[in-house]
C-alpha cells in the first residue's frame, strides 16, 4: 500500500493506494481543522502495511507544506519506507482528463500556474494564460478563470496514480519544499 499527502493548497488531501486502485481518500478545506495524522489514521488503520509515502512539495504556503511534508517524512522514516515527492501543480494537472492549466493559491490575489506546454509562473488571475481551462484548488476562484467542472475531473487519488511514476525519491533529511518565495526561481 502507498500513502499520498497534499496539504499545499486551498484543499488538503490524503489517499491510500494499493496496486492500480484508490482504496480510500479524503479531500477537505486546508487549515487548522485538517489534521493529517487523524485523517491518515481514519483511512489507514495499520500504517505498517505501507510500502511508500508520497508528499506534494509545492509550491505552497510555508505552514501548509510543512504540515504534510513533516508528517510524511516522520511516517516514512519510522516505517523505513521510501519517501517520494512531486509538485503540487503536477498533481493538479493530473486531475484533468485533457490539457489544462494547473493552478494553486499563491496568496495576495496571485495564482501559481503550470501550462500544458511546460510554462509556469505566478500571476494575478487576470494575467493567467487563457488557452486552456483551469484545474486546481483555490480559496476564492476568480470569475475570470474558466475551470473544468469538478465532476469531469479525476479524484485526488486517481491523479496520484496517474503521476506517481514521475515522483522523485527524496531523502528524509533533505526534502526541499517549494515555498511561495521560491517559486519565482522556477519560472
Domain that holds residue 41: 2-88+155-186
- Name the residue among 120, 108, 157, 156 with its Cα closest to residue 136: 156
Q: For position 181, what pLDDT does the model report? A: 53
Write the CATH number for 7: 3.30.420.40
What are the tens digits of pLDDT across the range 133-184? 999 999 988 888 999 999 999 999 999 999 999 999 999 888 888 865 555 5
Specify whether 72 is located in the same domain as 163: yes
Which pLDDT band holds residue 109 (cuts at 50, 70, 90)? Answer: confident
Query: Which residue would you say has higher pLDDT here, 184 or 41?
Result: 41
Q: For position 183, what pLDDT does the model report? A: 55
Mean pLDDT for the chain overall: 93
What are the tens digits of pLDDT across the range 69-89? 999 999 999 999 999 999 999
**Count of domains forming the chain:** 2
Q: For position 187, what pLDDT does the model report? A: 41
Alpha carbon distance 187, 182 (integer Å): 10
**DSSP label of 20:** T
Specify whether 8 is located in the same domain as 75: yes
Alpha carbon distance 104, 99 (integer Å): 16
Cβ neighbours for 56, distance < 8 A, ≥ 6 positions apart: 5, 6, 7, 8, 65, 68, 85, 86, 87, 88, 91
Q: For position 185, what pLDDT does the model report? A: 47
- What predicted TM-score, i.e. pTM, was given to this entire model? 0.93
Alpha carbon distance 186, 25 (integer Å): 30
Specify whether 80 is located in the same domain as 164: yes
Q: Is 29 exposed, middle or buried (0-12, 13-18, 19+ CB in 10 A)?
A: exposed
Specify whether 67 is located in the same domain as 100: no
Amino acid at each position: 500500500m502507498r500513502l499520498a499527502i497534499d496539504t499545499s493548497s486551498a484543499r488538503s488531501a490524503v489517499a491510500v493506494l494499493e496496486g492500480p486502485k484508490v482504496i480510500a481518500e479524503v479531500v477537505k478545506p486546508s487549515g487548522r481543522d485538517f489534521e493529517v495524522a487523524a485523517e491518515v489514521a481514519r483511512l489507514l488503520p495499520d500504517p505498517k502495511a505501507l510500502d511508500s509515502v508520497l508528499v506534494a512539495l509545492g509550491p505552497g504556503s510555508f505552514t501548509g507544506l510543512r504540515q504534510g511534508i513533516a508528517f510524511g517524512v516522520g511516517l516514512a522514516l519510522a516505517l523505513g519506507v521510501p519517501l517520494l515527492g512531486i509538485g503540487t501543480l503536477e498533481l493538479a494537472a493530473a486531475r484533468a482528463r485533457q490539457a489544462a492549466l494547473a493552478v494553486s493559491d499563491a496568496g495576495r490575489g496571485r495564482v501559481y500556474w503550470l501550462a500544458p506546454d511546460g510554462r509556469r509562473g505566478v500571476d494575478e488571475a487576470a494575467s493567467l494564460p487563457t488557452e486552456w481551462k483551469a484545474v486546481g484548488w483555490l480559496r476564492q476562484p476568480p470569475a475570470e478563470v474558466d475551470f473544468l467542472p469538478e465532476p469531469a475531473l479525476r479524484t485526488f487519488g486517481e491523479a496520484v496514480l496517474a503521476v506517481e511514476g514521475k515522483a522523485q525519491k527524496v531523502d528524509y533529511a533533505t526534502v526541499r519544499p517549494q515555498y511561495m518565495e521560491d517559486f519565482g526561481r522556477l519560472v
